[in-house]
Structure 1
């Protein structure tokens, strides 16, 4: 009787140990999955915004650089998604946007060209969708916040419109944007939070020195060279 009891106790202990080991293994796997590092964009790309098509998404709009020069089109915008062309992020864009197509891969990023032609056709609910204008140039420019408290270089994108006016979209490191609208003569018509908003004069002050437009919007400061507006 004692031998049977001892055998049962040993079997029960072994079963409990196996369950504990299995639980520990699952916990380790979950922790490993949770510590996956976010994708670090290579320096070969000019990354714009904080996610495409929605803020926080892994894909990004891309500006002009050595890695994208062969894929830029003035009638399309270029989007990059980390990973191969069959990744979930790429499929989500290509399968849901009929004007999107994969055009190449570079440095671990799949490149997607999205045509902007016909983007103002009416939607099913009767409201025309916002047209996404293609960027004709990109780079960095001096920007400042808080009366000199934060001075850095911000990425920007330029849109040249058919009426010869120009919109410069500045991308702050925290993901917010500032759109500055210029008339044909280079005068600032107004600013907005994004290029799709209507420009308003607001508390905007402008001056020019040695071919550089010095623009103040509240506590924000921007230095935009004339060559950016002319495309030179």
Structure 2
């Protein structure tokens, strides 16, 4: 009887130990998985969207901030991936995106620039029979949308055409663009989503004050100085 009692007690202890060990292991695994999925983006970044290139992916498109100012280019989009440049997310992105390259690291995030110049050039070749001049100048200008809800500085590029007209292409931090078409005498002929589209007057309003063209396109606002058009 005593032997049976001791055997039963030993079996129960072993079962309890196995249960505790299994629970601890499961808890550790769950914690690790939660840590991987719950990356908290530092406040130093302006994070756009919920994943790149697909919704739910670890990487994100990044807007303009102090941490990204040196890496932004109006002919490329900036992507941030959590972790080092050797992480699986970075390797997958650089390996599958032909024009993607790692340009830096900041606050635990690897920064990747993906050129959009080739895609735009291909679009111009297929839709625009007239050969356009390359961007001759670039900089930043005040821009606003949402009736004052979003005020910032947008990058821009200027294209001077052979007929002496000018197109100013504005690049919003979230990747959207706005093309503003100017005639030879500096009047706004219309706007479009991209420089390859036909200019449309639409709901575009313009006025000039102290050498600055104040342009409204729906709920968007732009300030383009005359010197931008003349190249002075």
TM-score by shorter chain over 0.5:
yes
Q: CA deviation at 1:9?
A: 0.7
Q: How does 1:32-181 map to 2 (within 5 A)?
A: 32-38=35-41, 58=60, 67=70, 77-82=75-80, 88-89=89-90, 92-93=93-94, 96-97=97-98, 100=99, 102=101, 105=104, 112=113, 114=115, 116=117, 120=121, 128=126, 136-146=137-147, 150=149, 152-163=151-162, 164=164, 165-171=166-172, 175=174, 177=176, 179-181=178-180
Mapped pair 1:25 → 2:32: no
Work out the CA distance in 1 between the residues paired with 2:63 and 2:135.
10
- Structure 2: which 5+ residue stretches go unaligned? 129-133
Q: Report the CA distance shift for 1:183/1:93 in structure 2 as closer, same or farther (over 3 A).
A: farther
Task: Name the Cα RMSD after superposition.
Answer: 4.4
Structure 1 outlier segments of 4+, above 6 Å = 49-53
Q: Report the CA distance shift for 1:15/1:86 in structure 2 as closer, same or farther (over 3 A).
A: closer
Deviations 1:80-131 (A, max 9, x none): 444766564476356543xx37595475765657484696559xxxx9489x
Work out the CA distance in 1 between the residues paired with 2:78 and 2:213.
31
Which position in structure 1 is the counterpart of 2:131? none
**TM-score normalized with structure 2 length:** 0.64
**TM-score normalized with structure 1 length:** 0.64
Q: Report the CA distance shift for 1:77/1:2 in structure 2 as closer, same or farther (over 3 A).
A: same
Work out the CA distance in 2 between the residues paired with 1:196 and 1:51.
29
Q: CA deviation at 1:50?
A: 6.8
Greater helix fraction, Structure 1 or Structure 2 = 2
Greater Rg over alpha carbons, structure:
2
State the aligned residue count.
Answer: 209
SS in 1 for 2:214: strand
